[in-house]
A and B are shown apart, each in its own frame.
Chain A
Amino acid sequence: SAVISQKPSRDICQRGTSLTIQCQVDSQVTMMFWYRQQPGQSLTLIATANQGSEATYESGFVIDKFPISRPNLTFSTLTVSNMSPEDSSIYLCSVAMIEGETQYFGPGTRLLVL
């Protein structure tokens, strides 16, 4: 499995601001994903980060709110834009070495919006 790091590990932000979360993998991976875990809840897929093209968003998530970049096979960013307290969650990056294979998760970014 790959070693996945996320920055920042946690942050406290004011409403109306934006935060960019970075996901770095120590080896090239085919698939990268972003999930959200709201307090006390399970994980929900936000989008699949596609290298060199627009991310593929799941129902209920839009690019204007959660812009995603993936410039290469080891790095991706998720921005949470115009934040509100409802965006307070843990955001997790996950990767799969090969399409269709097991996903491995990063340590997560804990976000609190005041």
Chain B
Amino acid sequence: AQTVTQSQPEMSVQEAETVTLSCTYDTSESDYYLFWYKQPPSRQMILVIRQEAYKQQNATENRFSVNFQKAAKSFSLKISDSQLGDAAMYFCAYRSAGGSQGNLIFGKGTKLSVKP
């Protein structure tokens, strides 16, 4: 079975600085998708970024980028120029490319605080 591990329960960053959130996963599959979701206090889960395992290029979305290391099964999220609105729980998630399309497997989350 696949597992997702986020080893940092909490992280803190100064406004305008850069922070990296870690995520590792375990799978025997070669084709899959990885996601970072953000959950602010309002509880709305928001997609931050998505990475297809077959793509070597790291995904980027404005201030958010990932470092995808397939061999190491690592998928970290880098947030540049951190803003107060970035404060939230961040969840890393895995989904198989085949089989059960629905089953997103989530890590336990990292709570990010942004200091003004």
Contact = CB atoms under 8 A, between A and B. Distances in A.
B103 A92 contact: no
B45 A105 contact: yes
Interface in B4-59: 33, 35, 37, 42-47, 50
Contacts of A56: 100, 102
B44 A48 contact: no
B47 A102 contact: yes
Given A42-B91, A43-B91, A90 B103 contact: no
Given A102-B35, A102-B50, A45 B43 contact: no
Contacts of B44: 105-108
Nearest to B46: A105
Interface in A15-59: 31, 33, 41-45, 48, 56, 58
Contacts, number: 52
Contacts of A58: 103
A41 B108 contact: yes
B1 to A, nearest CB: 10
Interface in A88-114: 90, 92, 94, 96, 99-100, 102-108, 110
A100 B43 contact: no
B91 to A, nearest CB: 6
Nearest to B45: A105
Given A100-B97, A102-B35, A43 B43 contact: no
B104 interface: yes
Contacts of A92: 45
Residue of A42, A44, A102 with most partner-chain B CB within 10 A: A42
Contacts of A48: 100, 102
A34 to B, nearest CB: 10
Given A42-B106, A42-B108, A99 B43 contact: no
A78 to B, nearest CB: 14
19 contacts: A1-B47, A41-B108, A43-B45, A45-B104, A48-B102, A56-B102, A92-B45, A94-B45, A96-B101, A96-B102, A100-B101, A102-B35, A102-B47, A102-B50, A103-B102, A105-B44, A107-B43, A107-B44, A108-B43
